[in-house]
A and B are shown apart, each in its own frame.
Chain A
């Protein structure tokens, strides 16, 4: 029976959360479509020992490719393996994480090659008369849409943190099957150099449970140093709005917005951010948004769950002290 196939790139130390989120989507879809089997393709180097965890989180079968060429594979290698596996298994639905590799590269090219319908950056779904309707934001989150992917095969890329992983069930059983890696993929685009940034960038936005973000209202790069301090106390990542990134106060890799990262942490603290649609497209899915702004009429107070009216210079230092006191 045509399956639901999910993808996961693991590392020696861990399974990314996105891999478990996809299994939660797959299980729920499986139930609504009528007991469709869930297969998980698990790629990486030194990942074998993590394979049972995918079963515990919802897979019926794990297809394992543990190979040195998968430590930091070229995009085209992942595309090649993915295409090969999908052609062989002929699943009904392919679920991919909406990240740079799968959402930006593998998903679209795979769909094109297999003449499959594709919906990217999905945040939910509904099953109606056996058809899957994929929910996703459009127009920077100002509207929502249900989209359908037509064809025998459909591909969906799923936004990070839109779904919660299922709790691990150690009693769940399933099959783990090794799959062969085709010898020597020829790649036309290759990584010839990797450069680590000189400056300290702190925690990444994708993984952070808490994000502290600053905007034009911070006034300067120096203003941002207090946000880094607040982030340290909270174990948070630091982000910024487009004006803050364009003025170089935060690196572009930490820009939150329609032209940056789309984030959904459990807590988002926006400081000196007015709440322009460009920014809220990136931050709007956060579970709880806190706004600190001196202008009580700033649009952000219509979009935040909790607000503090006041100048950040006067609010943030005592806020840091309060958190420090709580911890000690």
Chain B
């Protein structure tokens, strides 16, 4: 089975509140000196793909729309165990919305050709719209299973485990198909081994441009159907009311009284 994972590189989402800055004109986060990382759910998708390869064989290819800096994240995915990686990089790709992103990825997938399963994180760790995965399935006209955590079997069709509120369900889907990936106990991303990192650094990563994918501005829907109109950092004016008391026990009692007074319990 050939699994393709779509990966987005983002500014480390763990940047604390007091260091977080945005550019209100560009309506995006300012990177500053923060590291770039693989978006959390996409890293989980890489883990799921590698686990599937370990169980049933096959190969894992990573594709990412990005810049030269994205190569570092592609190396990380290779070091985790992916076989190949492709960077999709072109000035035309930069200002596209989720519809445009899906179109770029679809063109890359068609160029790859022999894929069986596409995995996308359920949503990116920055703007968190959760659109590109389902859009890509629609663009390619293939079945789409959403919010699954792992593969349970692969035999012409795939069976996928989807966590539910009260347990989980097993979905069956024909191949080729696309699945959006959520996290559970089974797919905590592994650390890359030293051996893996060395091998990854030697793996060539081809770059595909708009020309390579036969895409032009018109095809990428530059009209934009989803626009960010305004972005700001909300003022956090929470003044924490510290509960007084000599002992922990007294503070606990005072907390209970205060919560009752506020009508919260």
Residues of A within 8 A of B (CB): 75, 100, 103-105, 108-109, 111-113, 115-121, 133, 137-140, 142-151, 188-197, 201, 204, 206, 210, 234, 246, 248, 251-253, 255, 258-260, 266-267, 276-278, 280, 288, 290-291, 299, 301-311, 314-319, 322-323, 326
For the complex, give the distance between the alpha carbons of A105 and B134 in Å.
7
The answer to whether the Cβ of B219 comes within 8 Å of any Cβ in the partner chain is no
Known: A288-B262, A288-B264. A142 touches B233 (CB 8 A): yes
* CB-based contact A267/B165 at 8 Å: no
Chain A interface mostly helix, strand, loop or mixed? mixed
Contacts of B258 in A (CB 8 A): 306
Contacts of A210 in B (CB 8 A): 264-265
The number of chain B residues touching the other chain, given as a range, is 35 or more
The answer to whether the Cβ of B22 comes within 8 Å of any Cβ in the partner chain is yes
* CB-based contact A326/B240 at 8 Å: no
The answer to whether the Cβ of B69 comes within 8 Å of any Cβ in the partner chain is no
Contacts of B260 in A (CB 8 A): 326
Chain B interface mostly helix, strand, loop or mixed? mixed
Cross-chain contact of A147 among B126, B137, B229 (Cβ < 8 A): B229
The answer to whether the Cβ of B68 comes within 8 Å of any Cβ in the partner chain is no
Nearest first, the 7 A-B pairs at minimum CB distance are A322-B256, A314-B248, A108-B134, A188-B143, A318-B252, A310-B248, A197-B167
* Smallest beta-carbon distance A206→chain B, Å: 7
The answer to whether the Cβ of B127 comes within 8 Å of any Cβ in the partner chain is yes
Contacts of B99 in A (CB 8 A): 112
Contacting residues of chain B (120-135) with chain A, CB-CB under 8 angstroms: 122, 125-131, 133-135
* CB-based contact B242/A307 at 8 Å: yes
Known: A138-B126, A150-B227, A267-B264. A143 touches B233 (CB 8 A): yes
Known: A259-B40, A315-B248. A108 touches B135 (CB 8 A): yes
- Of the A-B pairs whose beta carbons lie under 8 Å apart in the complex, a sample of 14, sorted by A's number, is A104-B130, A104-B180, A105-B134, A105-B147, A109-B137, A112-B139, A121-B128, A149-B226, A194-B170, A195-B167, A197-B166, A204-B165, A251-B185, A319-B255
Known: A204-B165, A267-B265. A138 touches B127 (CB 8 A): yes
Which stretch in B1-9, B11-19, B54-62 binds the other chain?
A: B11-19
* CB-based contact B225/A258 at 8 Å: no
Contacts of B256 in A (CB 8 A): 319, 322-323, 326
Known: A100-B147, A191-B170. A311 touches B248 (CB 8 A): yes
* CB-based contact B240/A302 at 8 Å: yes
Known: A144-B231, A277-B17, A326-B260. A195 touches B168 (CB 8 A): yes
For the complex, give the distance between the alpha carbons of A290 and B15 in Å.
23
* CB-based contact B253/A252 at 8 Å: no
* CB-based contact B180/A318 at 8 Å: no
Closest residue of chain A to B173 (Cβ to Cβ) is A189
Known: A105-B144, A252-B183. A323 touches B265 (CB 8 A): yes
Contacting residues of chain B (223-244) with chain A, CB-CB under 8 angstroms: 223-234, 236, 238, 240-243
For the complex, give the distance between the alpha carbons of A277 and B163 in Å.
24
* CB-based contact A308/B243 at 8 Å: yes
* Smallest beta-carbon distance A327→chain B, Å: 9
Contacts of B143 in A (CB 8 A): 188-189
Closest residue of chain B to A199 (Cβ to Cβ) is B167
Cross-chain contact of B13 among A139, A191, A192, A304 (Cβ < 8 A): A139
The answer to whether the Cβ of B215 comes within 8 Å of any Cβ in the partner chain is no
* CB-based contact A120/B13 at 8 Å: no
The answer to whether the Cβ of B257 comes within 8 Å of any Cβ in the partner chain is yes
For the complex, give the distance between the alpha carbons of A164 and B142 in Å.
38
Contacts of B223 in A (CB 8 A): 150
Known: A145-B27, A194-B169, A306-B258. A277 touches B13 (CB 8 A): yes
For the complex, give the distance between the alpha carbons of A109 and B130 in Å.
11
Closest residue of chain A to B131 (Cβ to Cβ) is A108
